[in-house]
C-alpha cells in the first residue's frame, strides 16, 4: 500500500470508529505523519519501500518529514538547503509547509539558494560579497523587496534582473547518439530514450519520476559493461546501442568526498602539488641542503614534522568523549621541519603556499615559467577560487568535491579520452552566480569533445541544455514514462510536463527583461 492509500485508509477508519475506542490519539498521530509525507509529495511511495532505493530528493524529504511532523510550537527550526533534489512543483509544497510551521508560532531559519523560497521569505540575511575569505559580511538584512535595490549584493542582481544566465542563442547538434531501449527497472515503464553525443542532455521530471533509475542504474552500469569496466549491477533494460564506440570512458561525477583524511587536499587531487614541491626543490637553498621534492611532502619521511608525522595536529584519544585535536607544539600546525620552512619562493615557504586561496595562488605563481597557475585555473573556473590549497578534503562540502572532480577533467583538456560525464544534481548548494560558472565549465568539457548527461531540476540548467528528456508525469508508480524529448524551446509547448510550466515562466521572464 502506498502512503496516499494508507492515509485514506486510516482517515476512513478514524471517521467510522472502526479502530475502536481509546485509539483516537494513535490514529491522529498516524494520519498526521502520513499527511506530512503526502503533502511534501511522497504519497506514491509504498510503506515497505527500502531506503536504499530512494532517490536523493526522496531521501531529503523523508528526513525533512521528521522535523515537519513535530507538534512543537515556540521552537526555532533550522533547515539547510531543504530544496535539495526537489522539482519546482515540489518546492511549492515545501514552502507551504514551512509557512504552516511559521503560522503555528515557530521561527523558521532556512539556508537556501532557491529563488522561489527566497522570494517567499519574510526576512532575508544576505552574506558576501564573495565566498571564503572574500565573504563573511552581512550585505543586507530585511524584507525581500528591499533586497532588490541593494547594489552590493550579487543575489540582488539576479533577483532584480541586473544579472542573468542567458539562454543560448543556438543549440548544439549531437555527433551521433546512444539509444537506451526497454528500460523497465523500478518504476520505468519499458521506455526508450535517445542521448545525443558531444552535447549537454538534461534528464528532468518531478522527484521520484525515474531519473536516477534511468541514469545511475541503467545508463551508467550499462556503458561500463560495454566498455569492459567492472561496475555496479545493471537494472532491467533490453539494450544500449548506437554510436557507443565513440565513448571511451564513462564517469559518474557524484558528491562523494575526494578523500577523507587530513592529508588529502584539492591541489593533490588536481596534480598541482607535485609541481609546487618541484618548484621549492629547485630553489638554491634546497640545492645546498640536498632537498628533493619529497622533502616538501608531509606524507613521507624527510621534511615533515616527526612529532605529528605531517598532520599538523596531535590527537588525544578520549575513552568516553570525542577525541581532542590540538595543534602540534613542535611545528605549530605547519606540518614541516623548521629547516624546510626556511626554503622560500618569492618570500613564501611551503606552508604559506598551502594556506593561500586558489585565487591568491594563481596570482602568486603567474608569469614565472611554471605550470602551477595553469593547473589551478580550472578550480577558479568552476567557482572554487576561495578554497585554500591545503584545505583537508574532509572539510569540503559535497558540491565542492564534485566541482574539484570537474576541474581535474577540465585541466586535462583535449588529451582526455572522449568521455560521457554523468552529473547528479550538480547545482546543489550553488548560488545563481556559481551556476553561471558551472555552465561555462560544462561548455569547456563539450568543446573538448566530451558528452554530458545531467540529472537536474534547476530551470537555469534546463534552459541551457541542448537536449531535454522529461520523465513523469508524477513520481513512483505514476511516473516512469517519457513525457518529452527535444530542445527546451520545444519543451515549453508540452502541456503534460510540469517542467514545461516553470521553464516557460523563466524563459518568458528573461525575454521580457531584454
The model's pLDDT over 309-354, given as tens digits with 9 standing for 90+, comes to 999 988 888 777 778 889 999 999 999 999 999 999 999 999 999 9
Q: Identify the band that residue 500 occupies on the pLDDT scale cut at 50, 70 and 90.
A: very high
Predicted local distance difference test score (pLDDT) of residue 282: 95
Burial (0-12, 13-18, 19+ Cβ within 10 Å), 301: exposed
Q: What is the reported pLDDT for 80?
A: 85
Q: Name the packing angle between helices 88-103 and 56-68 (round to 10°).
A: 10
Per-residue pLDDT at 65: 81
Say which DSSP state 388 is in. Answer: B
pLDDT band at 250 (very low <50, low <70, confident <90, very high): very high
Percentage of residues in the chain with pLDDT exceeding 70? 96
Report pLDDT for 19.
Answer: 60
Number of Cβ within a 10 Å radius of residue 447: 11
- Which grid coordinates are listed for 389? 590549497
Task: Note the pLDDT of residue 162.
Answer: 87
The pTM of the whole model exceeds 0.95: no
What secondary structure letter does DSSP report for 298?
Answer: S
Would you place residue 476 in the very low, low, confident or very high pLDDT band (cuts 50, 70, 90)? confident
Structural contact between residues 366 and 303, judged by C-beta atoms closer than 8 angstroms = no
Q: Taking the CA of residue 304 as centre, how many other CA atoms within 13 Å lie in the half-sphere pointing to its CB?
A: 17
The 10s digit of each residue's pLDDT in 73-89 is 898 988 888 888 788 88
What domains, with CATH codes, occur in the chain? Answer: 3-122 (3.40.50.300), 177-257+396-513 (3.40.50.300), 266-381 (1.20.1580.10)
H or E segment and range at residue 30: helix 24-39
Q: Answer with the residue of higher pLDDT: 411 or 362.
A: 362
Percent of residues in the chain assigned helix, strand, coil, to nearest 5: 40, 15, 40
Query: Of the candidates 444, 464, 466, which has an alpha carbon nearest to the alpha carbon of residue 194?
Result: 466
Is the per-residue pLDDT at 107 higher than 80? yes
Q: How confident is the model at residue 117 (pLDDT cuts 50, 70, 90)?
A: very high
Query: In the beta sheet, which residues pair with residue 345?
Result: 348
Backbone phi, then psi, for 325, in 5-degree steps? -105, 120
pLDDT score, position 150: 86
**pLDDT value at position 254?**
81
Share of the chain above pLDDT 90, in %: 56
Amino acid at each position: 500500500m502506498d502512503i496516499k492509500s494508507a492515509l485514506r485508509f486510516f482517515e476512513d477508519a478514524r471517521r467510522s470508529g472502526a479502530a475502536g475506542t481509546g485509539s483516537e490519539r494513535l490514529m491522529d498521530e498516524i494520519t498526521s505523519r502520513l499527511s506530512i509525507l503526502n503533502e511534501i509529495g511522497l504519497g506514491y511511495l509504498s510503506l515497505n519501500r527500502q531506503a536504499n532505493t530512494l532517490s536523493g530528493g526522496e531521501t531529503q524529504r523523508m528526513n525533512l518529514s521528521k522535523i515537519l511532523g513535530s507538534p512543537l510550537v515556540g521552537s526555532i527550526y533550522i533547515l539547510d538547503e531543504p530544496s535539495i533534489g526537489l522539482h519546482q512543483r515540489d518546492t511549492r509544497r515545501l514552502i507551504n509547509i514551512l509557512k504552516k510551521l511559521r503560522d503555528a508560532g515557530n521561527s523558521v531559519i532556512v539556508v537556501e539558494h532557491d529563488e522561489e523560497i527566497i522570494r517567499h521569505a519574510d526576512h532575508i540575511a544576505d552574506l558576501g560579497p564573495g565566498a571564503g575569505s572574500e565573504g563573511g559580511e552581512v550585505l543586507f538584512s530585511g524584507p525581500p523587496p528591499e533586497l532588490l535595490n541593494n547594489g552590493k549584493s550579487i543575489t540582488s542582481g539576479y533577483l532584480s534582473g541586473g544579472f542573468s544566465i542567458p539562454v543560448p542563442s543556438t543549440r548544439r547538434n549531437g555527433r551521433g547518439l546512444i539509444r537506451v531501449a526497454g528500460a523497465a527497472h523500478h518504476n520505468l515503464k519499458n521506455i526508450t530514450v535517445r542521448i545525443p553525443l558531444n552535447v549537454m542532455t538534461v534528464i528532468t521530471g518531478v522527484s521520484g519520476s525515474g531519473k536516477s533509475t534511468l541514469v545511475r542504474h541503467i545508463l551508467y552500469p550499462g556503458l561500463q559493461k560495454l566498455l569492459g569496466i567492472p561496475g555496479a549491477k545493471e537494472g532491467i533494460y533490453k539494450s544500449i546501442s548506437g554510436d557507443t564506440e565513440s565513448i571511451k570512458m564513462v564517469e559518474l561525477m557524484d558528491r562523494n568526498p575526494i578523500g577523507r583524511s587530513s592529508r588529502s587536499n584539492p591541489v593533490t587531487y588536481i596534480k598541482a602539488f607535485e609541481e609546487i614541491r618541484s618548484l621549492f626543490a629547485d630553489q638554491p637553498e634546497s640545492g645546498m641542503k640536498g632537498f628533493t621534492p619529497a622533502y616538501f611532502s608531509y606524507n613521507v619521511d624527510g621534511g615533515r614534522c616527526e612529532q605529528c608525522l605531517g598532520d599538523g595536529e596531535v590527537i588525544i584519544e578520549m575513552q568516553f568523549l570525542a577525541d581532542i585535536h590540538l595543534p602540534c607544539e613542535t611545528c605549530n600546525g605547519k606540518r614541516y621541519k623548521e629547516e624546510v620552512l626556511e626554503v622560500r619562493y618569492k618570500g613564501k615557504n611551503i606552508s604559506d603556499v598551502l594556506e593561500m586561496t586558489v585565487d591568491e595562488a594563481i596570482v602568486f605563481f603567474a608569469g614565472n615559467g611554471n605550470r602551477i597557475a595553469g593547473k589551478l585555473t580550472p578550480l577558479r573556473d568552476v567557482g572554487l577560487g576561495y578554497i585554500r590549497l591545503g584545505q583537508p578534503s574532509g572539510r569540503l562540502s559535497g558540491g565542492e568535491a564534485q566541482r574539484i572532480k570537474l576541474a581535474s577533467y577540465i585541466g586535462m583538456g583535449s588529451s582526455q579520452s572522449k568521455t560521457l560525464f554523468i552529473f547528479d544534481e550538480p547545482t546543489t548548494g550553488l548560488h545563481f552566480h556559481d551556476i553561471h560558472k558551472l555552465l561555462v565549465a560544462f561548455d569547456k568539457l563539450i568543446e573538448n569533445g566530451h558528452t554530458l548527461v545531467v540529472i537536474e531540476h534547476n530551470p537555469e540548467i534546463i534552459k541551457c541544455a541542448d537536449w531535454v528528456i522529461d520523465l513523469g508525469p508524477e513520481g513512483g508508480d505514476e511516473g516512469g514514462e517519457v513525457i518529452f524529448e527535444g530542445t527546451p524551446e520545444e519543451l515549453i509547448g508540452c502541456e503534460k510536463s510540469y517542467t514545461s510550466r516553470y521553464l516557460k515562466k523563466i524563459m518568458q521572464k528573461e525575454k521580457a527583461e531584454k
